[in-house]
Structure 1
Amino acid sequence: MAAEDCASFGLAPAMRAGGVLADGDYQVHRDFVDFIVDGRPLLFQLSDLDAVSPLASDIPPAIFAHHVKRLLLEAEAPLPGGRCVIYGCPECEGIECGAVTAVIERDGEGDEGDGAYVWRDFAWQTDERVDLELNGYHGIGPFRFRAGEYRAVLGRLLSGEGPLVPPRRKVLLIGARVAVLARLAAALRTIGVGADITQDASGVPPEELRTYGVVAFGRAVEDGQRAAVRGEFERAGADVAYVDGLAPIVPLLVAQIESALDRGPLAQRRLTRLVAADGEAGVEVTSTCRVRITAYRLDRLYRAHTHDVFDAVLESGRHRISLDDKATRGQSFLVARTTGSVLVARMER
């Protein structure tokens, strides 16, 4: 088989950002490994699909390994016709919610690089049988992956040498408003992100500090206290992101923290830019997707107000969006969401 007939196959850590939505619902946070085909996440070819691969961090190791073996055709496919789940519901594992499936098969013989693995007949499936004419993704695939590269990438994942799912990081909350911190911690735990509250990180064992991915400071935390906390994490060799809370609004703070938890490269995100100034939002997306923008505003009495200000499908590229002046006056902030990504910006004047 000629090399030019094959697509490149890779894996990369990915995240489905959780959040507290404007209507009060919760969206669960999921860490998973995504499939990279010819240098781009395969999920991006599925437009606005909110889904994760079966290679997720919150499933037991034995099940994780079994999913990998299915991709290698070393375990039986879970669905008739040799079909495997490529992406499924981020909230549960039931196919009843819908899943993207494909037939995975070998083309050619040999395990030393000969032949190829083929992913074909992509479809949307909600039960054991599939109607390709009605529910097939006719513009996606088939993909032919060199057997040697394919097996090596998935083999490294099984051995622990490849791009593993990021460890489930906790968040450390530091601030003066205990009630706000308690509500924020509860919201984070509800969406699947661990959270602890403290005022002083001194004396905490380095191995415990290294379990945190984000440290979030409230607006009232003084510079000296921030520096002391940063010093403890630096001495522990902990790779953390620091978040300065924009306002004591729980959904806004959750969005800030989710944005900080996303450490993947920009090329593997859908939403790469959000700026807000003079009643407008500037947004950049890397593939066609639905973008939702929510405005959060504090009035003169420091009461929080929430407004859904934009919800539409945008093509790849940069966009300028005019927003309702009532939603963005005074001290206001924007949260932009796509499937998997979230960014936050202060409205500048």
Structure 2
Amino acid sequence: MSAEYATFGLAPAMRAGGVLANGDYQAHRDFVDFIVDGRPLLHQLSDLDAVSPLASDIPPAIFTAQVRGLLLEADPPLAGGRYVIYGCPECEDLGCGAVTAVIDRHGDDFVWRDFAWQTDEHPDLARNGYHGIGPFRFRGDAYRAALGSLLAGAGGERSRVLLIGARAAVLAKLAAALRIIGIGADITRDATDVPPDELRVYGAVAFGRAVTEEERAAVRRSFDDAGVDVAYVEGLAPIVPLLVAQMEHALDRSPREQRRLTRLVAAGGEAGVEVTSACRVRLTAYRLDRLARTHVYEVFDGILEAGHHRLPLDAKATRGESFIVARTPGSVLVEALAR
């Protein structure tokens, strides 16, 4: 075993949910990602839509068991001393595929090795191994400290948002869509008399177009008085998939430098996108016509290498009031098309 060490850390991460252009729903998942040598390990595994077993929406007892497993305080769940490192974000079933690795001890150190894509009891390392990933040797004190810090607050609350607006039908549809993908949502027009403990459950507040500046200021004062740090979202248009994407972006608490999708601009008939590692990027355009009807266009879906990219937009998708949503497996950004 090499004497070289890798650094081990943890950081909040998100698998962005949403209402897709074809009408399908994608589940929202908050989880803790593994940071190896300063980079999310998930980003080093090519284009993978997955979450770690340290997800905030699993019961606390299961969360604790997952942490203790990574600390080798429990028997491995798979044959050969293998542990699930990343699994399916929708069902977490091994049959959908999972990234697994052997975790063992070398003196006081912890070693992650033999990474593989696994769909049944025994992985084929020659065929499905992640060659070139690992082995990683972590100093025992730092490794135990990072994972041990999770046990004090095992598990976590699901993301929750407060919706404020005048269009009851749109708010109801938005709340229903958010709940389907795993985000709690409440609707109100006045938050001035809400007890501080109730305000603390929200990660974001969304304002509809009809909410006045005076009403918005009153809501902000309520949260400030309660000492709650919350993200505020100005709804771009009464288009439910677009608003869901805005909510997902607002709820993303992962460090910006550890996100895959870091920039989106839309102007002059093209979109500018920046990604930090190779991944699948999907661009969807939403357009409101003169009769306030919504039109949806899938304008790009493909693998982009790390860096800046300029992608052309279909002229039909950019007429009138238009908006672009960019998605990667873990991030989402929204921009109005600049004129």
The verdict on a shared fold, with TM-score over 0.5 as the criterion, is yes
Q: Which string of whole-angstrom CA distances, capped at 9 and with x for unpartnered residues, describes residues 208-233 of structure 1? A: 01111111011111111111111111
Q: CA deviation at 1:49?
A: 0.4
Residues 299 and 330, structure 1, Cα contact 8 Å, conserved in 2: yes
Specify the alignment match of 2:46 in structure 1.
47
| Paired amino acid for 2:105 | R
Residues 171 and 212, structure 1, Cα contact 8 Å, conserved in 2: yes
Q: TM-score, normalization: structure 2?
A: 0.98
Specify the alignment match of 1:112 in structure 2.
none
Specify the alignment match of 2:28 in structure 1.
29
Residues 31 and 165, structure 1, Cα contact 8 Å, conserved in 2: no
| Paired amino acid for 1:127 | D
In 2, Cα distance between equivalents of 1:94 and 1:106: 27
| Paired amino acid for 2:30 | D
In 2, Cα distance between equivalents of 1:333 and 1:299: 12
Q: 1:299 pairs with 285, 289, 303, which one? A: 289
- Aligned counterparts, 1:323-338, within 5 A: 323-338=313-328
Aligned-pair identity in percent equals 74
SS at 2:203 equivalent: strand
* 2:6 matches 1:7: yes
Specify the alignment match of 1:158 in structure 2.
151
Specify the alignment match of 1:282 in structure 2.
272
* 2:75 matches 1:76: yes
- Aligned counterparts, 1:68-217, within 5 A: 68-108=67-107, 115-160=108-153, 167-217=157-207
Residues 164 and 187, structure 2, Cα contact 8 Å, conserved in 1: yes
Q: CA deviation at 1:281?
A: 0.4
In 2, Cα distance between equivalents of 1:165 and 1:327: 42
Number of paired residues? 339
Q: CA deviation at 1:166?
A: 6.0
Q: Which string of whole-angstrom CA distances, capped at 9 and with x for unpartnered residues, describes residues 296-335 of structure 1? A: 0000101000000001111111111111111111110000
Specify the alignment match of 2:252 in structure 1.
262
In 1, Cα distance between equivalents of 2:105 and 2:78: 17
Specify the alignment match of 1:244 in structure 2.
234
| Paired amino acid for 1:233 | F
Residues 57 and 155, structure 2, Cα contact 8 Å, conserved in 1: no
Q: TM-score, normalization: structure 1?
A: 0.95
Q: CA deviation at 1:167?
A: 3.7
SS at 1:318 equivalent: strand
Q: What 5-or-longer segments of structure 2 have no aligned partner?
A: none
Q: Which runs of at least 4 in structure 1 moved beyond 3 Å after TM superposition?
A: 164-167
Residues 63 and 155, structure 2, Cα contact 8 Å, conserved in 1: no
Q: Which string of whole-angstrom CA distances, capped at 9 and with x for unpartnered residues, describes residues 112-170 of structure 1? A: xxx3111111000111111101111112111111112111211122234xxx7664231
Q: CA deviation at 1:93?
A: 2.1
